[in-house]
């Protein structure tokens, strides 16, 4: 009954249009003061200690790095490389946009930033070459989702933080720790590459069926020139992932290094960002970080309330008593996450549902890292699912298309992603293979 009351209050506040962060905070305070005897100073202490997390410092640093890359001319160099590599295929410019989205996602870690950076250049270019605007916007909106799966990923950091320190027990009653950021980053590499390839193949298939134009094959000299032109941007992937796996620095330190590196590349190497523009970039990154951290702050209180009332543990015991096995549970999880992801942003969904679903998954023997990747892929699908898919809104603003038309346009890529979600859900080796091979798990 307590759990039902909590979620009714939360849903009621969301339905009246209240922001997610404020709805979370008010729900927690209302339930704590009405149904529990938790003292106010304990709430304040938990609020402070909950966000006093070293790993949580990843968030503003990765946001800052992505903002520098978005404003620093990295996107147009990656578009040049993608066009030289794949422009001669059917639907060449569209395929180049899909490839550019995958490359930029790998260095920015943000799906909306990928849609803005690539879409603002590629959508007008595709329309000018004869592609329908709906197809052009669909390619970029769907390709942008890779930003939260290919590391570095802010959503993976939030999943790790949201489940850290929870009293989760395995099938035999053993204590199971939450997934680390480093493990999640490595686990996202292979699924991210495969999904990027599947989205590119879907683009080629649609373009071939509709007989869209293709570019002339570029000489190898252009491909090499384009690669060296965007080398400094691509090097960020090697610095972050190589540094984490090589033990040079932690994920949080990698985020700080990436922010400084992105600043140097944008201002002093590419010189597309002037020093006078840096305060504007810093303000933009600070605004985005503040929004995310405010949501996290209230989500910490929400997790504290759930843990205090032992709601996740009670749900796990109830589901197991009903005979729910891993297969049935994951079906339910996918449905819940897809619905939630279509009406809320990934950060909010992760911070609200991860503390609830994580103990149940662990109790059923599902690996924490594998479960984290399942959540991330669900969030990707939700970003292009109406009515409130985040990438649909961003692509709509860039392309000046209506949401309804755009929702229809992304349908081929949405179906591809749903099929991929099933594979990721029931093939743990796809996510866990690389971390295990590297000896991280």
The confidence score (pLDDT) of residue 312 equals 66
387 cis-preceded (ω within 30 degrees of 0)? yes
Residue 179 maps to a domain: yes
> CB-side exposure of 181: number of CA atoms within 13 Å?
26
The confidence score (pLDDT) of residue 375 equals 92
Q: How many structural domains compose the chain? A: 1
Residue 334 maps to a domain: yes
The confidence score (pLDDT) of residue 417 equals 93
Q: By C-alpha distance, which of 313, 319, 341, 161 is closest to 251?
A: 161
148, two tokens: 């939260």
Give the domain extent around 238: 16-437
The confidence score (pLDDT) of residue 285 equals 85
Mean pLDDT by 10 residues, the chain (441 residues): 74 77 79 74 71 74 82 75 71 79 76 78 80 86 84 85 75 78 88 91 87 74 80 81 78 85 88 87 85 75 72 69 82 86 78 84 89 92 78 79 82 92 93 86 68
Please identify which residue in the block is written with the tokens 């390709």: 143
Residue 11 maps to a domain: no
The confidence score (pLDDT) of residue 373 equals 94
Residue 6 maps to a domain: no
Sign of the torsion angle spanned by Cα atoms 428, 430, 418, 288: positive
Residue 5 maps to a domain: no
Q: Find out whether 188 and 149 touch, Cβ atoms under 8 Å.
A: yes
Residue 261 maps to a domain: yes
422, two tokens: 């099933």
Residue 4 maps to a domain: no
Residue 7 maps to a domain: no
Q: pTM higher than 0.85, yes or no?
A: no
Alpha helices per DSSP H over 230-277 = 231-245, 251-264
Write the CA distances from 319 to 316, 326, 328, 360, integer angstroms.
Answer: 5, 10, 10, 8
Write the CA distances from 386 to 210, 338, 381, 393, 410, integer angstroms.
Answer: 25, 11, 10, 10, 10
């Amino acid at each position: 009954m307590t759990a039902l009351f909590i979620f009714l209050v939360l849903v009621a506040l969301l339905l009246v249009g209240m922001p997610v962060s404020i709805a979370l905070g008010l729900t927690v305070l209302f339930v704590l003061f009405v149904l529990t005897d938790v003292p106010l100073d304990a709430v304040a202490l938990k609020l402070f200690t909950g966000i006093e997390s070293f790993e949580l410092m990843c968030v503003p640093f990765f946001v800052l790095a992505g903002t520098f890359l978005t404003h620093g001319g990295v996107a147009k160099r990656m578009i040049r490389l993608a066009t030289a590599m794949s422009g001669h295929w059917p639907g060449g410019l569209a395929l180049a946009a899909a490839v550019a989205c995958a490359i930029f996602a790998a260095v920015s870690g943000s799906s909306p930033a990928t849609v803005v950076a690539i879409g603002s250049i590629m959508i007008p270019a595709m329309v000018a070459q004869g592609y329908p605007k709906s197809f052009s916007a669909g390619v970029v909106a769907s390709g942008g989702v890779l930003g939260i799966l290919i590391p570095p990923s802010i959503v993976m950091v939030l999943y790790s933080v949201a489940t850290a320190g929870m009293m989760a027990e395995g099938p035999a009653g053993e204590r199971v720790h939450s997934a680390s950021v480093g493990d999640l980053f490595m686990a996202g590499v292979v699924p991210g590459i495969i999904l990027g390839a599947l989205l590119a193949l879907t683009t080629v298939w649609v373009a071939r069926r509709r007989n869209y134009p293709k570019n002339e094959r570029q000489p190898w000299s252009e491909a090499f020139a384009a690669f060296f032109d965007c080398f400094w941007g691509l090097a960020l992937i090697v610095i972050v992932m190589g540094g984490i796996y090589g033990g040079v620095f932690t994920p949080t330190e990698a985020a700080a290094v990436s922010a400084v590196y992105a600043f140097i590349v944008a201002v002093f190497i590419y010189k597309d960002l002037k020093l006078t523009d840096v305060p504007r970039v810093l303000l933009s990154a600070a605004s985005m970080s503040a929004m995310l951290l405010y949501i996290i702050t209230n989500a910490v209180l929400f997790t504290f309330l759930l843990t205090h009332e032992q709601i996740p543990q009670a749900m796990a015991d109830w589901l197991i008593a009903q005979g729910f096995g891993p297969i049935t549970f994951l079906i339910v999880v996918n449905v819940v996450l897809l619905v939630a992801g279509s009406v809320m942003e990934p950060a909010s969904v992760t911070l609200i549902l991860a503390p609830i679903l994580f103990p149940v998954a662990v109790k059923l023997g599902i690996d924490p890292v594998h479960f984290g990747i399942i959540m991330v892929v669900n969030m990707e699908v939700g970003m292009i699912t109406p009515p409130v898919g985040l990438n649909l809104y961003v692509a709509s603003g860039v392309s000046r298309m209506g949401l309804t038309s755009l929702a229809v346009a992304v349908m081929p890529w949405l179906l591809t992603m749903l099929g991929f979600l099933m594979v990721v859900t029931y093939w743990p080796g796809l996510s866990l293979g690389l971390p295990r091979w590297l000896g991280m798990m």
